[in-house]
Structures are given as structure tokens and as C-alpha cells.
Structure 1
Amino acid sequence: MKHTTQLPDRRPVRDRTGAATVAAPPPARTTARRRPSSQQWAAWGFLAPVTLYLALFYAYPLYRNIDLSLRNYTVRSFVQGDAPFTGLQNYLTVFDDPTFAPALLHTVVFTVVSLVFQYAIGLALAVFFTQHFRLSATLRALFLVPWLLPLIVSASTWSWMLNSDSGIVNAALHAVGIGPVNWLTSPDWSLTSVILANVWIGVPFNLVVLYSGLQSIPASLYEAAALDGANAWQRFWRITFPLLRPVSAITLLLGLVYTLKVFDIIWIMTKGGPADSSTTFATWSYQLGFGNLLPAFGPGAAVGNLLVVAALVFGLVYMRVQRKQGLS
């Protein structure tokens, strides 16, 4: 069977004289541009406040901080805006500063130790509260108090508790025959003191997130494991911990970003001292920019940008790990 192609209609048309002519094909239709619908305008309307918020409170401050770190700003040039461009000189100044190495070490120790204890204690409490015993909801609500209190209140409370002369902690140690400890004024104990306070504040967040993750694990898995003879530790290690990995990853990432920028607790309790024994990048950045009579805005901004880069690197690593887990 032969297939024929249909050609455009070119039937002869006779004019007034009777001569036959072939009519031209009709012109091709042009499609008009579609105007945005009401739903598209509504979508842009909902997106505009978020975009404006991110631009004003994230993008512009980040741009200004990068600009501060690349120029030699003084108080006069900060007001007049005529600071000379110095490139990476402020970063070199920060790297050559003798405070850089101790501040880096304190930041790493403060972040890692806080994350480990916050996650471990939060996970233990989350598993404990899954038993649904009497007063379980009440106790969970009480554990949220440190998270709900303003940081200035929590830090001030810990400063009073750890006071060398009138603190309740030293009073308890004296009751059991242990001498007083200079928690906030000794270089050997100042970093430990701020870590204790930060762990106490961060445990409720880990408890809430991990407890929510535990609720999504089917109870049938535990029942099947119990029938197979698995004990409590084996059920936790083989079922609970692996299925909590996605929730644990986001919990640790958010805790990392928060802990890297902790400033209020350290500044209220020790101000980074004594002798820079509890100085981290967050407190050092503040000291450089606002803690001296002659502020060093450029180096202070450079230290702040190092914290931003560290948080960004860990965020990218988390996204890459999540993508690999999704593909697998």
C-alpha cells in the first residue's frame, strides 16, 4: 500500500476574465506570547518576601563582610567609605597572629567535644523516653527548659554556679571533701567550663530531633528482632542506630553550624580568658573588631569569614554524602 503525502490545497481560482490562477497558501499562524497566569503571579508574590529577606539579611551582610576583609578599614574610613584595597593582607595578618593557633585549637575542641556529648546524651534520653512511662511527657517538657531560656540567662546562671567563691558547684565539691576549683579564672578549666554550659544548652535540641526520628521507626522491627533473640543492645545497634542515620546527620550538621558561631556563652562566662585560654574564632573576631580602642575591622572580618567557609565546607560535605546515599 502506497502512502501519499497530502500537499497544501492549490485549487485553481478563476478571475473575472476566466483565466485560471493558483491561489497562494494561507499564511502561517503565529502564536502570541502567553501572559503569566494568576497562579504564576501568586507564586512570585510568595517568593518575593523570602528573596528580599535573604538578600537583605544574608547576601548583603556577607558581601559587606568580604569587602571588610579585603580592605584596610579604620574608624574614619569605615564612616567615609574610602578604605584602600589590600587584597589578602588581612588574612595573612590573621594567620601570622600568635592567637591564631590557640584560637583554632580551642574552636575545634569546643566544637567536637560539645557535639559528641550533646548527641550522645540527647540520643540516650531520646531512647529512654521512647518507653512511654508515666510522667514521660512532663519530663520531656522540663528538659526543654535550657533550650527555651535566653542565652544570656543560661550563661549568667552557669557563671554564678561555677563561681570560685560562692558557686554551688564548689560548695558541692567541698561537701564531699574536694577543694575549690577556679572554673572561670584558671586557664586549665575555663574551656571546660564553657563546654559544660554549651552541652547543657544543646542537649534539648538533640533530644527533640532524635526522639522524633525514633517515632518513625516501625515497632514491628523490634518485635521481630526480639523473637530472633536479640537483646536491647543488639536491637539498638542493628536497628535504631542505622535507621537514625539521616536524622543524626542533619542533627550533627545543625549542631556543628551552631557551635562554630557560639559567642554569647563564652563571652559572658570568660570573655575568652584568662590569657586567651577559652578564645575561639567567634570571640576573637569580636575582640578584633570591637574589643579594642583601635579596632581592626579587616582582620576581624577575615576571622569571621573563616568560620563561614568552615560551615560551608561541612554543609557541602553533608549534601554530597546525602546524594550518594540517595543514589545507592
Structure 2
Amino acid sequence: MSHTTRVPHRRPAPDHSGAAGAAPAAPPPARRRPSSQQWAAWAFLTPVTLYLVLFYAYPLYRNIDLSLRNYTVRSFVQGDAPFTGLQNYRTVFDDPTFAPALLHTVVFTAVCLVFQYAIGLALAVFFNQHFRLSATLRALFLVPWLLPLIVSASTWSWMLNSDSGIVNAVLHAVGVDPVNWLTSPSWSLISVIIANIWIGVPFNLVVLYSGLQSIPAGLYEAAALDGAGPWRRFWSITFPLLRPVSAITLLLGLVYTLKVFDIIWIMTKGGPAESSTTFATWSYQLGFGNLLPAFGPGAAVGNLLVVAALVFGLVYARVQRKQALS
């Protein structure tokens, strides 16, 4: 019988934390250096970020600062304007011009959007037929959009002139009394609305026409075989499939129309008797149209326009998200 010698089992020494047999700690992972693709991405993002900061974020910050301080010409130069909080906004809300300017802004924006979209959609459907001279006529319809706004506004001012305008000349030729388009409180807002609709129709035409090009022609052929007429095909195929394009068209048109200043200022300067004053022209009048400019209230009115555009933008984003989820 052989005797085996039992080797005593050695217990591992506890580490400093008291745990027995703990494995040695792994070395920390080496820090990865950014790859060339990451450096390229940052290189492309830097100009865009600088542009947004310099031309969007900083002006917006300055405008908010203007609306929260009592700036005069002296303090505007020296930068020692006292902080007044929301006093400038209270001044704007208490001003008797606030209610008419708000009403004119809403009416001007809503009427322009409806007519620009309706006329642009009708022209887009018309040019989608691809008839002879279609491309030439579409190019001619872009002329109002390509002209400088000062040229368009001056042209409409001449056409709607009470004494020598071509519009009153045509009305007189058909036996209608002349209309004081630019000098009558009843017609001044209508005049600038007509001019702005004429300027905005080409944009709606171009965007909606591009949306029509993305609709498959087979859908129309199948609907025609099923006996659907032109109106039925429009309401069942064209209009529903154009909803995403229509949404972005209306949103961009809304943002642009809210801030329209050139057309109104050149044609009527917001008058007569503030009958065509909107928030855009009122903000300019407060800040630069008087001998004693009110920079704070003018900036407050401008911020109201920014908030309105931001609200509609958020509503559009929410609607788009719901449509994507559904």
C-alpha cells in the first residue's frame, strides 16, 4: 500500500479590497483618436455652425436683449441701457396700434396664403399636362418671383395709382368709377394683398409642380380605366399625394408672408391712417421711422413675429411626425 503525500492547498492572498482570488485589474482602454472621417465631418459642420451662430443665434439674442432694456440712441451706442424686463411688451400690448396691426397681419397672411396656394396649385396641374409651350409659359410665370421686390412694389404702385394707373384706366374704359387703391383706408390693405399674391404665386407653382412630377402616372391611368373623371382623379389621387409638399409650401409661405415688409412699405407705408399696418411695418416704424426711435418696443414686436413663426413651425413638425407614425 502506497502512501501519497498530500500537498497542502495554498489560499490566495487577499487583495487590498479584501476579496480573495481577484483577477488582476485590466489596463484602461487606450483612447481612440478621431478618424479621418470624423475630422472631415467636423470640418464640414464648422462653417454651418459658425454661420448659424453669427447670423441667427447672435442677432436673435441681441433682439431679445433690445426688447428687455430701455434703449435710446445714446444708450444704444454706449451700451448702458437699463434693464426693464417685460415693460416694452406691456407698452406694445397697451398701444392702440396693436389690435389693428394684429388683425391686418392675420388677414394679410391668411388671404395671401389661400390665394397663392390655390392659384399655384391650379397652374401646376395645368402645366402638368405637358402641352406645347408649357416650358416657355412656366418660365414666364417665374418673372414675378425673380424680380427684386422694390421693382415689383414700384410697378404695382404705378399700376394702382388713382390718377394715372393702368388699373383705373381699364375700369374707366368699362364704365366703373376709379378706385383710390393706395390712398383709401378701405382699399389699401387689399392693394398690398393683391401685389403680394402676384409675387408669391410662382413659388407655389414651382414647388407644387415638382411634387406633381413625383406622382406615378400609372395611378391616373388605373383611375381612368375605373371610370374616374378629372375632378375625381384630382381629389382622390393628386390632392392626397401632394399633402407633404403642400404642407412645406404653406409653412414656408407662412413664414415669408408674416415678415413681408418691402411691398407694404413701398406701396402704402402702412397707411393711410394705419389701415395697412402689419407687425413687420409697425416694428420698423417704432425702431427707425421716428425722430425718437423706440428700439425696445420695436424689438418686442419683432419678437412676436419670431414666436408666431416658431409656433407654426412646431405645429408643422408635430403634424409631420404623426403622419410618419401613422
**When the two structures are superposed, what TM-score results if normalisation uses the length of structure 2?**
0.91
Match of 1:25 in 2: 27
Deviation at 1:25, TM superposition (A): 13
Shift of 1:6: 24
| Cα gap change, 1:252 to 1:13, in 2 (>3 Å) | closer
Residues 238, 85 of structure 1: alpha-carbon distance in 2 compared, 3 angstrom cutoff: same
C-alpha displacement at 1:42, in angstroms?
Answer: 1.2
CA displacement at 1:40 relative to structure 2: 1.1
Distance 1:7 1:144, change over 3 A: farther
What per-residue deviation string (whole Å, max 9, x for no partner) do you get for residues 56-95 of structure 1? Answer: 0000000000000000000000001010000000000000
**What does the per-residue CA deviation read over 1:179-236, in whole Å, with 9 as the maximum and x for residues that have no partner?**
1100000000000000000000000000000000001111111111111111110100
Secondary structure (helix, strand or coil) at the match of 2:130 reads coil
Q: Relative to 1, partners in 2 of residues 1:15 and 1:66: Cα closer, same or farther, differing over 3 Å?
A: closer
Distance 2:260 2:13 in 1: 87
User: 2:13 aligns to what SS in structure 1?
Assistant: strand
Deviation at 1:14, TM superposition (A): 22
The alignment yields a C-alpha RMSD, in angstroms, of 6.2
C-alpha deviation, 1:41, in angstroms: 1.1
Counterparts of 1:6 and 1:317 in 2: how far apart (Å)? 82
C-alpha separation in 2, matches of 1:307 and 1:225: 44
What's the secondary structure of 2:140's corresponding residue? helix
Whole-angstrom CA distance in 2 between matches of 1:197 and 1:170 = 16
Q: Residues 23, 278 of structure 1: CA spacing in aligned structure 2 closer, same or farther, 3 A cutoff?
A: closer
| Structure 1 residue 13: Cα displacement | 17
Residues 221, 22 of structure 1: alpha-carbon distance in 2 compared, 3 angstrom cutoff? closer
C-alpha distance 11-316 of structure 1, shift in aligned 2 (>3 A): same
Shift of 1:37: 1.5
> Distance between the aligned counterparts of 1:47 and 1:232, measured in 2?
48
Q: 1:8 to 1:282 in 2, by over 3 A?
A: farther
User: Given the superposition, is the C-alpha separation of residues 216 and 4 from structure 1 closer, same or farther in structure 2, using an over 3 Å criterion?
Assistant: farther
Consecutive unaligned residues in structure 2, runs of 5 or more: none
Change in CA separation of 1:14 and 1:318 when aligned onto 2, cut-off 3 Å: closer
**Residue 10 in 1 paired to residue 10 in 2?**
yes
Cα pair 1:8 1:25 within 8 Å, conserved? no
Count of matched residue pairs: 324
1:15 and 1:218, CA in 2 relative to 1: closer, same or farther beyond 3 A?
closer
Q: Aligned match of 1:243 in 241, 244, 248?
A: 241
CA pair 235-294 structure 1, distance change in 2 beyond 3 A = same
Identity %: 90
The structure-2 alpha-carbon separation of the partners of 1:13 and 1:52, relative to structure 1 and needing over 3 Å to count, comes to closer
